[in-house]
Structure 1
Amino acid sequence: MSTDIENKVPYTVSNIEKCMCSQCPVQANSVCAQEKFSSFKNEIKSSGGGEGPEPKEVPGIYCSTGSATCIDLNPNQQCICKTCAVWEEYDLEHAKPMMYFCNIGRAD
C-alpha cells in the first residue's frame, strides 16, 4: 500500500479495471456516464489492455483524472469510494479530497 499521498493515483488500465466508479450511485442515473461506460468497455476490449482511452472518455478513476466531464451526476447520492481497491492501494483515506472525486477533483 502506498503511504506517500503526494503521488497521484496513476492513470493506468489496471487502475481503471479496479475502479468502482461505474457502480457508484452518484453515476447510476447519469445518461452521460452510462454511455461512456459502454463505449469505454468496448475500447478496453479492442485495445487488448494496452493504452487506455482518453481520461475524459472514462466514467471513473476520478481520483486520478479529476472531476467528471459528465454534468448529470448526482453528488447527493452516497459515494462508494471506500469500497474501491484503488482507494485502499493508494491510501486515499488520507488524501485531499477524500471522496467524491468525480465532483471535487483528483486525489493529491
Structure 2
Amino acid sequence: MSVVPKTKENVRKCMCTKCPSYTLICKVKSVPDKVSVSFSDLESKGHAEVMFCAYEPSRCIEKEKGCLCETCELFREYNLKNSFYCIVAGGKL
C-alpha cells in the first residue's frame, strides 16, 4: 500500500466526511479539528478527523454504515487496496 501524503490538496480530495459511516454527530464533533487542519502543518499532525487512509482511524465513528473508499480519488491515485480506514488502522482487507 502506498503512503498517502498529508497535504491540503489531498484533504480537499478526501471523501471521508461524505461517507455514510461518518455520522452527523461526528461531523459536529470534528469542527474544531477541521479548523486546525486548515491552519496547521498537516505532516506533523498525529490525528485528523479526515483522510483516515493517511492519518489514523476516526475517534468518533463506531459502526460501519457503508464505505466510499473505493470511489475516492486518493484511493485510485495512491493505489490503495483496503476499505474502512476510518475504523481500522490501515483499513480492512
| TM-score where L is the length of structure 1 | 0.67
Q: Unaligned stretches of 5+ in structure 1?
A: none
Figure out how many residues of one structure are paired with residues of the other and give that number: 89
Matched, 1:54 2:45: yes
The answer as to whether partners of 1:13 and 1:51 remain within 8 angstroms in 2 is: no
1:87 to 70, 75, 82: 75
* Residue 26 of structure 1: aligned partner: 21
| Partner secondary structure for residue 61 of structure 1 | coil
Q: Unaligned stretches of 5+ in structure 2?
A: none
The answer as to whether partners of 2:4 and 2:54 remain within 8 angstroms in 1 is: yes
* Residue 101 of structure 1: aligned partner: 85
Larger gyration radius, structure 1 or structure 2:
1
C-alpha deviation, 1:102, in angstroms:
0.8
Supply the distance in 1 between the matched residues of 2:15 and 2:46 (Cα, whole angstroms). Answer: 15
How much is the aligned-residue C-alpha RMSD, in angstroms?
A: 2.2
Q: Which has the higher helix share?
A: 1
- Seen in structure 2, the aligned counterparts of structure 1 residues 105 and 66 have a Cα distance that, compared at 3 Å, is same
**What percentage of residue pairs aligned between the two structures are identical?**
25
